[in-house]
Amino acid sequence: MSHTIKYIKVKNVNKFLLLAATLVASIQTPSALADASAGEAAFGTNGCGDCHYTQGPAREKTIEDQLAKLGPELWYAGSKFNRPWLEAWLSAPKPIRLMKYNSLEEKNPGEHPVLSAGDASQVTDFLMSLTSDVVVAGKIKAKAHPKGKLIFKKKMPCSGCHQYEDRKKILGGATGPSLVGAGDRLNPDWIYAYLTESSIFKPVKMMPVFKGILSPKDMEFVSSYVASFKGK
């Protein structure tokens, strides 16, 4: 018996390997699906759905839709967050925003529900199963690149709304989520996807759009720089 072996010529091996890794990462085993199902139940039992929605795409059509929300959307949470941070935060939440969600005047009271260790783990399983195919895995690596820092501080108005740490000092505004320790919280690849394709995640603009203003390479530098912000 003879066998014919066909070879596929791949022009860009790195792109092929990146695609393969992304596909493998997206495959969920029966065990993972069961964990996500249990987590979804815990998400509901703890009342998380009262403030957060988990089915995409984005629902907001108008500024009124955005202002009516009680908390951020979570339909791409698995692409946005780093799992260790998310699980730890759910069991011991601390305000990420100085101001209450969607408020410019009222301070954040820090009243997010505290989940038990078991529920935090299960809810994390569920949230990490919610991903966006816009986020390409492995594209961005955390690095305090000087060019990224320059663009962040000089070309982008991030500090007007977001706190960040520079030379052991906390600088910046208070209306947006803090970027102090952002590298612990956020997936570097999501940061880049958010900067380049913000309308997919936030169709109602709450921050400047940088696509067409900054080059993709510049946004890579900035994403790497923000991802290098580590907590204590």
Q: Where residue 178 sits, what CATH number does that domain have?
A: 1.10.760.10
Residue 10: inside a domain: no
**Domain with 124 in it:** 29-128
Residue 108: inside a domain: yes
Distance in angstroms (rounded) separating the CA atoms of residues 23 and 160: 38
Mean pLDDT of the chain: 89
Distance in angstroms (rounded) separating the CA atoms of residues 76 and 198: 13
Residue 135: inside a domain: no
Provide the number of structural domains found in the chain: 2
- Based on the domain organization, do 52 and 99 belong to the same domain? yes
Among candidate residues 82, 100, 128, the one where a domain is terminated: 128
- Based on the domain organization, do 166 and 218 belong to the same domain? yes
Residue 218: inside a domain: yes
Residue 4: inside a domain: no
Residue 200 is predicted with a pLDDT of 96
Residue 13: inside a domain: no
20 has a pLDDT exceeding 90: no
What confidence tens digit (pLDDT) does each residue in 77-125 have?
999 999 999 999 999 999 999 999 999 999 999 999 999 999 999 999 9
Distance in angstroms (rounded) separating the CA atoms of residues 152 and 172: 12
Residue 130, CB-side half-sphere exposure with 13 Å CA sphere: 21
pTM of the model: 0.84
- Based on the domain organization, do 74 and 123 belong to the same domain? yes
- Kindly state the average pLDDT of the residues 122-131: 98
- Based on the domain organization, do 41 and 122 belong to the same domain? yes
Among candidate residues 128, 154, 171, the one where a domain is terminated: 128
What is the total residue count of the chain?
Answer: 232
| Count of other CB atoms within 10 angstroms of residue 31 | 8
Residue 232: inside a domain: no
- Based on the domain organization, do 40 and 124 belong to the same domain? yes
- Based on the domain organization, do 81 and 168 belong to the same domain? no
Choice among 16-20, 77-81, 161-165 with the minimum mean pLDDT:
16-20
Q: Where residue 108 sits, what CATH number does that domain have?
A: 1.10.760
Distance in angstroms (rounded) separating the CA atoms of residues 4 and 7: 10
Residue 19: inside a domain: no
- Kindly state the average pLDDT of the residues 32-45: 89
- Based on the domain organization, do 80 and 155 belong to the same domain? no
